Amino acid sequence: MRVHADGLGRTLAGPPPRRVLDGLSLELPGPGVHAVLGANGSGKTTLLRLLALLDAPDAGELRFDGERVAGPRGVARGARRRATLVFDRPALLRGTVRWNVEFALRARGVPAAERPARLAPWIEPLGLGKILDARVDRISAGEARRAALARGLALGTELLLLDEPTANLDPLSAGLVEGAVAELCARRETTVVLATHDLAQARRLAGQVHFLAGGRIAQGGDAAAMLDAPRSTALAAFLGVENLFRGVVEDRGDHQRFIAPGIDWAVIAERPGPCWAALPARDVLVARDRPASSAMNAVEGTIERVEERGPTVLVVLAPPDREDAPAPRLTAAVTRATVQAMGLAPGQRAWLVWKAASVRLFDG
Partner 1 sequence: MGPFGRALELIGTLDSRVLEVVGLSLAVSVAAASLAALFALPTALALGLGRFPGRRALRAVVRALMMVPAVLIGLLAYLMLGRGGPLGALGLLYTPTAIVLAQAVLAYPLETALFLAAFEQVDPLLLDATRTTGGGRRWVARAAVRQAAPALFAAGLTGFARVLGETGMTMMVGGNITGETRTMTTAIAAETMRGAFELALALGILLLLLSLAVNVALLFLEPGNDARAR
Q: By CB under 8 A, name the binding residues for partner 1.
A: 49, 52, 54, 77, 80-81, 83-85, 87, 89-95, 103-109, 136-137, 141, 144, 148, 151, 155, 157
Between 53 and 269, whose beta carbon lies closer to partner 1? Answer: 53
| 3-state SS assignment for residue 153 | helix
Task: Label residue 343 exposed, middle or buried (CB < 10 Å: 0-12, 13-18, 19+).
Answer: exposed
Beta-carbon contacts of 222 under 8 Å, excluding residues fewer than 6 positions away, are 207, 208, 209
Cα 65-67-73 angle, rounded to 5 deg: 140
Nearest to 244 by CA among 253, 235, 252: 235
Minimum CB separation of residue 41 from partner 1 in Å reads 18
Minimum CB separation of residue 171 from partner 1 in Å reads 21
Minimum CB separation of residue 326 from partner 1 in Å reads 53
Minimum CB separation of residue 137 from partner 1 in Å reads 7
CB 163 within 8 A of CB 213: no
Minimum CB separation of residue 36 from partner 1 in Å reads 17
| Buried residues in 309-335 as b, exposed as e (16+ CB within 10 A) | eeebbebbbbbeeeeeeebeebbbbbe
Alpha-carbon span 20 to 44, nearest angstrom: 9
CB 321 within 8 A of CB 262: yes
Beta-carbon contacts of 254 under 8 Å, excluding residues fewer than 6 positions away, are none
Alpha-carbon span 330 to 316, nearest angstrom: 6
Between 86 and 356, whose beta carbon lies closer to partner 1? Answer: 86
Between 136 and 199, whose beta carbon lies closer to partner 1? Answer: 136
Between 140 and 233, whose beta carbon lies closer to partner 1? Answer: 140
Between 45 and 256, whose beta carbon lies closer to partner 1? Answer: 45
CB 278 within 8 A of CB 334: no
Between 105 and 244, whose beta carbon lies closer to partner 1? Answer: 105
Between 108 and 355, whose beta carbon lies closer to partner 1? Answer: 108
Cα 6-12-18 angle, rounded to 5 deg: 95
User: Secondary structure of the chain: what % helix, strand, coil (to 5)?
Assistant: 30, 35, 35
Between 146 and 360, whose beta carbon lies closer to partner 1? Answer: 146
Nearest to 173 by CA among 139, 203, 143: 143
Minimum CB separation of residue 18 from partner 1 in Å reads 18
Minimum CB separation of residue 77 from partner 1 in Å reads 8
Minimum CB separation of residue 33 from partner 1 in Å reads 19
